[in-house]
Amino acid sequence: MAEIKATEILIKSKFRVQKHGEVFTPAWMVKKMLDIEGIKEFAENLTANFLEPAAGTGNFMVAIQERKLNMVKKNYCETLTQYENYSLIALASIYGIELLEDNAQECVMNMYEYYHDVYTEVAHKFGKKPKKNVLNSAKVIIKANMSQGDFLTKLASNGEPIIFSEWKATNDLGGKDKTITVNRTEYTLQDIYDKKKNELGSLYKAPAIIHQVDLFGEFEEPENIQSSEQNLRYSTVKITDVYKEELESID
């Protein structure tokens, strides 16, 4: 049975406590807080979104994942495919922000390790091995949902706005379909505060595509090399394939 770590480090150094207020919450207190009426039901709900604004190494985020995955094991585990799809949907509803790089990285690792261990255990119960595409999709979801930045300024460590992805299922999840497709749409933290509705699939900043230069052709002046930034969006894909981060042209 996958378990949350037994040894708890609640303080890394006196300096970090003074500078960043870095004191981690012990497991017993996390449990007590997640058992509060109202919060408990949300933590066991498949799609209820959680945002941890000062995530640390993920004590709350991993505990929420544990509760959501327990619910998925109970209700959406008729087949391994169903578990894979619903566990990724559950994972996609947990978000975090953390100021310090090492904590943010540890948080991503702790979230992934927990997902990996429970998935492996469930796969073995079905006499199967964990699939690479499911694990890679979990990695992409966890990384996209965890931002290293400052919750107060709403800026990421690179100085850009904090960006989160919404993973919207196109299926009726109550219908207990075995496979789920999703639209990934990016929002800044400010958009979320403003309750903005972005176009499905839209990116905060689409990557520039530099049109290929013919190496054997005439030398082309830099101004003739075209780049396009605006007309791409995320494709609608199976949740078990989000690791491909497929983009499509809007036109």
Ligand X SMILES: C[S@@+](CC[C@H](N)C(=O)[O-])C[C@H]1O[C@@H](n2cnc3c(N)ncnc32)[C@H](O)[C@@H]1O
Residue with tokens 């605006």: 230
**Residue 28 or 219 with smaller CB distance to ligand X:** 28
Nearest-CB residue for ligand X: 56
**Hey, how many other C-beta atoms are within 10 angstroms of the C-beta on 161?**
18
> By CB under 6 A, is residue 21 in contact with ligand X?
yes
CA 45 vs. chain centroid, Å, equals: 16
**Residue 23 or 225 with smaller CB distance to ligand X:** 23
Give the nearest distance from C-beta 20 to ligand X in angstroms: 4
Element (H, E) at 51: strand 50-52
> By CB under 6 A, is residue 60 in contact with ligand X?
yes
What are the DSSP calls for 21-72, one per residue? ---PPPHHHHHHHHTSTTHHHHHTSSS--EEETT-TTSHHHHHHHHHHHHHH
Residue 209 forms beta bridges with which residues?
228
Helices 80-91 and 59-75, packing angle to 10 deg = 150
CA distance 88 to 78: 16
Residue 202 forms beta bridges with which residues?
none
> By CB under 6 A, is residue 171 in contact with ligand X?
no
Give the nearest distance from C-beta 92 to ligand X in angstroms: 20
Handedness of CA 97, 103, 108, 114 (dihedral sign): negative
**Residue 56 or 130 with smaller CB distance to ligand X:** 56
> By CB under 6 A, is residue 151 in contact with ligand X?
yes
Residues 24-43 that bind ligand X (CB under 6 A): 24-25
Rule CB under 6 A: choose which of 27, 33, 54, 237 binds ligand X: 54
> By CB under 6 A, is residue 150 in contact with ligand X?
yes
**Residue 53 or 207 with smaller CB distance to ligand X:** 53
> Residues 79-118: x/- map of binding to ligand X (CB under 6 A)?
------------------xxxx--x---------------
Beta strand 146-150 pairing with 155-156:
antiparallel
**Residue 130 or 149 with smaller CB distance to ligand X:** 149
- What does the binding site for ligand X look like in residue numbers (CB under 6 A)? 20-25, 52, 54-56, 59-60, 97-100, 103, 150-152
